[in-house]
Structure 1
């Protein structure tokens, strides 16, 4: 990003972040019986995820391999439901994805202060979390521009990451959504139900 454009971008960044709640005490989660909406809510509130790939690296070839990635499904208040990532092929998990793009992505409200304030352990079903099944795909064109805006607004440090790493934008292509937000076991949501839901309805 050029020196001329960066001040304007950072001003936009500050305005965008201002729409996030200043106090975690204001975080109001959807009712647990609105499962698809809960999934969208978690995906939009979380800034990072644990992604599990199938390892291609000795001595754990073929075994699950979990790693942390920064994500964004859109600028604050503009949820798309699609987790976007900023990746380099130098990264070990991305090398796994080049062989097998299938992965799973986990996000939890334990990332926010909500669970701590409620006294919920991160493993408790009441500390809602989702597991997304699917694959990681590189994006381009208009979707690449949306991914860039979504990630750079939430993760401004990315703007200055080394250009010689050949970064690219990707999305997590969801094929199944798993939700644990209450007692009684995990619930599943189809991609169609997930994308039809919205995290922004009034309670």
Structure 2
């Protein structure tokens, strides 16, 4: 069954799935998290001359195959990376993801900054994962980012996740909406048709 899900995720275009109605905020957040392949992570810099200031950097992410995500953004990190060095001092971070990286906003004629071009910000801390969760993280990431398999082993890569404490959603006019982690993880991003 896992092989079927994996193969299906490779051939299903991003626009195959429909974004949930904007009133269903938690579902929208889960949808965005599953559709996006990368996120901008903001940390508090530990590096001069911007020490103590916000510092944003792009990271490849995956919460699982498209259409079958778990909601947890996983990352493949190395201590050589400047933002990871920030996380070693302060693991608090935020991840921003936007449907602007898919065809959705372009096809609708939405500017990336428009609230109609749904985007989310996840607040929390970045923590290393291993064991069973590490195995899932590896499958989730390598299925969507296959070149990771060949990244240099001497960089001592490890799997990590965003431990979500708050979810911020911009998907319609009227300002940001917030979702608790419980609401976020209980939501189903895709309708099940019987």
- Which TM bucket (shorter chain)? over 0.9
For residue 18 of structure 1, report the CA deviation from its aligned partner: 3.3
**Which residue pairs with 2:7 in the alignment?**
15
CA distance in 2 between counterparts of 1:83 and 1:71 reads 6
**Which residue pairs with 2:37 in the alignment?**
47
Alignment of 1:159 onto 2:149 = yes
- Are the equivalent residues in 2 in contact too, given 1:30–1:41 (CA < 8 A)? yes
4+ residue segments displaced more than 3 Å: 11-14, 16-19
**Which residue pairs with 1:111 in the alignment?**
101
Aligned residues: 191
CA distance in 1 between counterparts of 2:131 and 2:39 reads 25
Q: Cα RMSD between the aligned structures?
A: 1.8
Q: Secondary structure at the match of 2:120?
A: strand
CA distance in 1 between counterparts of 2:137 and 2:180 reads 23
Deviations 1:16-72 (Å, cap 9, x if unpaired)?
Answer: 443422x73x44211000000000000000000000000000000000000000000
Which 5+ residue runs of structure 2 have no aligned equivalent? Answer: none
User: Rg: which structure is higher?
Assistant: 1
- Are the equivalent residues in 2 in contact too, given 1:19–1:76 (CA < 8 A)? no
CA distance in 2 between counterparts of 1:136 and 1:119 reads 34
CA gap of 1:184–1:13, structure 2 versus 1, over 3 A, is closer
- Residue 168 of structure 2, aligned match among 173, 178, 183: 178
Deviations 1:117-168 (Å, cap 9, x if unpaired)?
Answer: 1110000000000000000000010000000000000000000000000000
**Which residue pairs with 1:136 in the alignment?**
126
TM-score by length of 2: 0.94
Bigger Cα displacement from structure 2, 74-83 vs 40-49: 74-83
CA distance in 1 between counterparts of 2:84 and 2:20 reads 33
CA distance in 2 between counterparts of 1:197 and 1:92 reads 34
CA distance in 1 between counterparts of 2:186 and 2:6 reads 30
